[in-house]
Amino acid sequence: MPVPFGSAGAVAQYTFDVVVVGGGVAGLCAAVTAREAGAGVVLLEKAPREQRGGNTRFADAQMRFPHEADEFGPRDYSADDMFNDLMRISRGRANEDLIRTLCDNARQTADWLTGLGLEWEQGYPHTAGYRRSPKSGGAGLVDLLHRRLEGLGGAVSYETAATELIVDETRRIRGVRAHSPEGVVDIFGTNGVILACGGFQANVEMRVRYLGRYADSLILRGSRYNTGDGLNMAMAAGAAPAGQWGDYHSAVLDARSPRIECGVTALYNYQMGIFVNHDGRRFLDEGEDFRDHTYVKFSKHIVEVAGGEAWCLFDQKAYQREEFARAWRPVGPPVLAETVEDLARRIEVPEANLVETLESFNAAVQPGVYDLDRLDGKRAAGITPPKSNWALPLDEPPYVAIPVTGGITFTFGGLKCDTSARVIDTRGQVMEGLYAAGEPMGEIFYYNYPGASSVIRGAVYGRIAASHAAAQAKA
C-alpha cells in the first residue's frame, strides 16, 4: 500500500528535489541530468556498492542510435530507420509516440555520453552495422556516470530499497518509503520521484505469474535486485500497467552458464551454423533475419518449443572465422568430433537422425555469395525449416557443438507513460510527481527485441524524466 502523506513522518525523513530509485543506466543518467540542471538529487540503490549498477553492469551496453557512416559501420542510420526497425520488430504494437521520442533523442543522448568521456568501439559484427559499444562495457558506463554524479555533488544511498510511494491528499507522489541501513526512512522528492529500478525478471513469483510455469527455471542473465519493486509500488498507487506483461527479453545462452547473474554468455554467432534439438533435428530458420532481430525470439523458441536445451552445430569453416570468437565468450570448451556419427554419440542425439539432418541440409544449400553483413539470400531451400540466409554446408570436420538454452534478461511489461516519462494512472491521468525510465517503462518492446535498444532507452528516458522533474524544481 502507498504511504499516505499525512502518516509519513513516523520515521527518519530526508528531502531532496528529485529522488531517483535505481542506479542502472536510466537512474544514473536521470540523476546526473537533474544535478546538471541544478536540482538536489538522491539516488537510491538497492544493491551494495560493489554490486551496484543493475543489469547495466552485466551488459556490454551496446547502443543503437542514428549516425552517419563511419569506421564502425559502412551505412548511415537515420532516426527514421531506427523508428521503422523498432516498430517493425514490435509488429506495430509499440507506442509510436514513445518510440519516436526515443529515436529522436537517441543521438543527442549518445553525444552527451561521449561528452562525459565515454569511448566507443564497433559493436558485434554482422548486425547490420548500427551498433556502437562502449569500450568499457556496461560496468565502465556505470562507473563513469557515478564519477560524474559524485563530481556534481549528487547523493547515493546504497543498500536502500524503496518499498512504497508516499502519496498526498491530492494524489501527488511526494516521495518514497525505503528500507535502508539505518532502518525505515521516508525520502521526499519535492519535485518528483523517478522509478528506474528495473523489471521483475529476478522475482520468480512474478515471473511465473506473468510469463508462465516454465519461467521459474530461466537463467537470470543480470541483476538479482530487479524484483519488480517499482512496478508494484506504482500500481499500488494507481499507475496503469502497459505493454506486454507476458513477454520478456532473453538470449541464446551457453547452457553451462551460471544460473544467476551470468552476464554475457550468449552465443551471437549461430547464424553461421544450425540448431538441432535432442532428436538431432533442426527446428527453426537460423538465417531468418540479422542475428539482432532473431536472438530473443530463438532463445524463447528453444525454451518453449525445443524442450529447454538444444545444440548449435558448426564446422571448421565457421569455427575458424576471426569473428566467431568475438561473438562467443566460452563458458566451457565446445564438443568436437571428426565424424557426424561420433558427434551424435558425444552430444547424445540419435545418430541416424543427425546424419540425415546434416545430409539433407547440405544437399539443400543453394549457390550464391556468402556475406554475413547483409541478408545474402544464400539459402538452404526445399527442406523444413529452410535456412533463408548464410547457408553453407557443414562438411569440414572437426564438427563443433555448443549446448544452448534460453535465459531472461528483462521483462517487457511496464507502466503507462507519456513522452515526458510521466506515469499515467488507471484513469488516464498523469500521476503528478511520478516518472518511470528504463525497464519499468511499458509499451516499448513486444514479442521480440531489436538488439542494442534497452541501454539507449534507459539513457534517453532517464534524461527526459530528469529534465522534466528539474524544470518543475525551477518552476
Ligand X SMILES: Cc1cc2nc3c(=O)[nH]c(=O)nc-3n(C[C@H](O)[C@H](O)[C@H](O)COP(=O)(O)OP(=O)(O)OC[C@H]3O[C@@H](n4cnc5c(N)ncnc54)[C@H](O)[C@@H]3O)c2cc1C
- Is beta strand 120-122 parallel, antiparallel or unpaired with respect to 131-134? antiparallel
- What are the strands, taking DSSP E only, across 30-134? 41-44, 63-64, 120-122, 131-134
Q: Which stretch binds ligand X (CB under 6 A): 61-69, 71-79, 418-426, 464-472?
A: 61-69
In the complex with ligand X, the residue whose CB is nearer, 56 or 388, is 56
Cβ atoms of 129 and 74 within 8 Å: the answer is: yes
- What are the strands, taking DSSP E only, across 316-380? 335-337
Q: How far is the CB of 225 from ligand X (least distance, A)?
A: 3
With 0-12 / 13-18 / 19 or more C-beta atoms within 10 angstroms meaning exposed / middle / buried, residue 429 is exposed
Q: Is 443 in the site for ligand X (CB under 6 A)?
A: no
In the complex with ligand X, the residue whose CB is nearer, 142 or 394, is 142
Cβ atoms of 218 and 407 within 8 Å: the answer is: yes
- Map residue 128 onto helix, strand or coil: coil
Q: Is 101 in the site for ligand X (CB under 6 A)?
A: no
Q: How far is the CB of 397 from ligand X (least distance, A)?
A: 32
Q: What share of residues in the chain are helix, strand, coil (percent, to 5)?
A: 35, 25, 40
Q: Is 109 in the site for ligand X (CB under 6 A)?
A: no
Q: Is 60 in the site for ligand X (CB under 6 A)?
A: yes
* Candidate residues 17, 19, 23, 349; the one interacting with ligand X per rule CB under 6 A: 23
Grid cell, residue 134, equals 562502449
Q: Which of residues 31-50 bind ligand X (CB under 6 A)?
A: 44-47
- Is beta strand 41-44 parallel, antiparallel or unpaired with respect to 12-21? parallel
Binding mask 349-378 for ligand X (x = CB under 6 A): ------------------------------
With 0-12 / 13-18 / 19 or more C-beta atoms within 10 angstroms meaning exposed / middle / buried, residue 364 is middle
Scored b (16 or more CB within 10 A) or e, 437-475 reads bbbbbbbbbbebbbbbbbbbbbbbbbbbbbbbbbebbee
CA distance 309 to 405: 5
Q: How far is the CB of 249 from ligand X (least distance, A)?
A: 7
Grid cell, residue 15, equals 528531502
Q: Is 126 in the site for ligand X (CB under 6 A)?
A: no
Q: Is 25 in the site for ligand X (CB under 6 A)?
A: yes
Q: Is 291 in the site for ligand X (CB under 6 A)?
A: no
Q: Which stretch binds ligand X (CB under 6 A): 74-82, 196-204, 378-386, 413-421?
A: 196-204
Q: How far is the CB of 323 from ligand X (least distance, A)?
A: 16
Q: How far is the CB of 66 from ligand X (least distance, A)?
A: 15
* Candidate residues 8, 18, 26, 404; the one interacting with ligand X per rule CB under 6 A: 26
Q: How far is the CB of 462 from ligand X (least distance, A)?
A: 7
In the complex with ligand X, the residue whose CB is nearer, 102 or 313, is 102
Q: Which stretch binds ligand X (CB under 6 A): 277-285, 364-372, 387-395, 448-456?
A: 448-456
Q: How far is the CB of 241 from ligand X (least distance, A)?
A: 17
Q: How many CB atoms lie within 10 A of CB 308?
A: 16
* Candidate residues 32, 39, 41, 56; the one interacting with ligand X per rule CB under 6 A: 56
Q: Is 243 in the site for ligand X (CB under 6 A)?
A: no
* Candidate residues 16, 19, 27, 240; the one interacting with ligand X per rule CB under 6 A: 27
Cβ atoms of 406 and 266 within 8 Å: the answer is: no
Give the residues lining the site for ligand X (CB under 6 A). 21-27, 44-47, 53-56, 58-63, 138, 161-162, 196-198, 221-223, 225-226, 229, 263-264, 409-410, 438-439, 452-455, 458
